[in-house]
């Protein structure tokens, strides 16, 4: 996801990076060609006039807008749930670290648990994105511990198991009581729930039939639209049709991006920023040096 500062109304008119315009330019060019052909032929195909007018397009456009709204709502619900899960991940990580620092302040293992917890967050990010976590795990855990995780399929779960084992060791040595262990273990359970929720979203996409139906409907509407407008708008038909097509096709593209909140698309969750914020927050509670913060940069440009 592109992390950007607040922008005024004028700059939003010219945003390029982070918009879906750059990904749908071929479709808009295709619509411009179809619209131009409709103007040149006066709405005829092979010499036959296509008997279309604006009335059916108005009714059909209203139905299509409702369908697009439903699709975008379903996509955003997935995005919002993913955002809430990562918010809970931050809360539980902070709580676990804070409790451990307060209940076992003399323990040398508290910082080890904190680094394992941070490694868990990075491992979860890489698992959801399907990327290689080797670099982050080596930085946080060392070469030997990272190497032992190389053959494990579900690294976040394995790292939470290590956190739980380290907490159990503290309890067995008398560093924390049974009651305090129960409180700490409750935070580990919350982290596991976040992992399960993220895996559910990542492994359960929106049914393919919805995507196919919406895709076919949008493009059929856009291709037929010039032939219904050419008699009333004439030479302005390409301009109007490209603009209307941009709205509909862009909505479909945005819904597809938002429906996959853990991807690296511009409109997915900013997982890099979230993981860094969790790392900084946990390390600050431990009194450690903080890594550099990821700050918004101006990625838009004027065209």
pTM of the model: 0.86
Is residue 158 included in any domain, yes or no? yes
pLDDT of residue 299: 44
Residue (of 64, 28, 92, 60) closest to 242 by Cα position: 28
* CB contact set of 92 (below 8 Å; sequence gap of 6+): 187, 190, 191, 194
Please list the ranges in the chain whose pLDDT falls under 70.
Answer: 1-10, 12-14, 16, 18, 106-108, 296-303
Bridge partners (DSSP) of residue 45 are 48
Please give the Cα distance from 278 to 263 (Å, whole number).
19
- Taking the C-alpha atoms of residue 303 and residue 300, their distance in angstroms, rounded to an integer, is 10
Look at residue 7 in the predicted model and tell me its pLDDT: 65
Q: Does residue 230 form part of some domain?
A: yes
pLDDT digits (tens, 9 = 90+) for 135-144: 999 999 999 9
Query: Is 33 part of a structural domain of the chain?
Result: yes
Between helices 208-233 and 21-40, what is the axis angle to 10°? 40
The four Cα atoms 260, 266, 268, 270 give a dihedral, to 10 degrees, of 150
Give the CA count within 13 Å in the CB-facing half-sphere of 155: 28
Q: In this predicted model, what pLDDT tens digit does every residue of 163-174 receive, in sequence order? A: 999 999 888 888
**What pLDDT is stored for residue 301 in this prediction?**
41
In a domain? residue 238: yes
217 domain-assigned: yes
How far is residue 21's CA from residue 61's CA, in Å, rounded to a whole number?
A: 21
Domain hosting 254: range is: 9-286
Count of domains observed in the chain: 1
In a domain, 123, yes or no: yes
Q: Is residue 67 part of a domain?
A: yes
Q: What is the DSSP string of 238-263?
A: HHHHHHHHHHHHHHHHHHHHHT-TTS
Q: Is position 212 within any domain?
A: yes
């Amino acid at each position: 996801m592109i992390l950007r500062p607040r922008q005024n109304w004028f700059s939003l008119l010219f945003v390029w990076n982070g918009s879906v315009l750059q990904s749908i330019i071929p479709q808009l060019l295709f619509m411009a060609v179809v619209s131009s052909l409709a103007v040149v032929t006066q709405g005829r195909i092979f010499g036959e006039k296509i008997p279309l007018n604006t009335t059916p397009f108005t009714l059909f456009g209203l139905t299509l807008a409702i369908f697009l709204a439903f699709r975008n709502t379903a996509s955003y619900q997935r995005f919002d749930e993913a955002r809430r899960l990562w918010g809970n991940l931050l809360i539980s990580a902070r709580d676990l670290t804070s409790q451990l620092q307060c209940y076992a302040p003399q323990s040398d293992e508290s910082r080890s648990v904190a680094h394992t917890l941070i490694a868990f967050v990075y491992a979860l990010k890489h698992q959801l994105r399907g990327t290689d976590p080797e670099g982050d795990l080596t930085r946080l855990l060392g070469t030997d511990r990272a190497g032992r995780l190389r053959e494990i399929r579900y690294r976040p779960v394995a790292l939470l198991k290590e956190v739980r084992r380290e907490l159990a060791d503290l309890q067995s040595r008398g560093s924390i009581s049974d009651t305090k262990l129960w409180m700490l273990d409750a935070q580990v359970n919350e982290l596991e729930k976040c992992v399960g929720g993220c895996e559910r979203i990542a492994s359960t996409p929106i049914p393919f039939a919805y995507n196919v139906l919406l895709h076919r409907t949008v493009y059929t509407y856009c291709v037929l639209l010039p032939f219904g407008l050419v008699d009333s708008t004439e030479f302005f038909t390409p301009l109007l049709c490209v603009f209307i097509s941009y709205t509909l096709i862009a909505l479909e593209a945005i819904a597809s991006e938002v429906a996959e909140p853990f991807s690296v698309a511009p409109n997915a969750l900013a997982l890099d920023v979230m993981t860094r914020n969790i790392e900084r927050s946990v390390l600050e509670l431990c009194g450690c040096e903080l890594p550099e913060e990821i700050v918004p940069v101006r990625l838009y440009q004027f065209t």
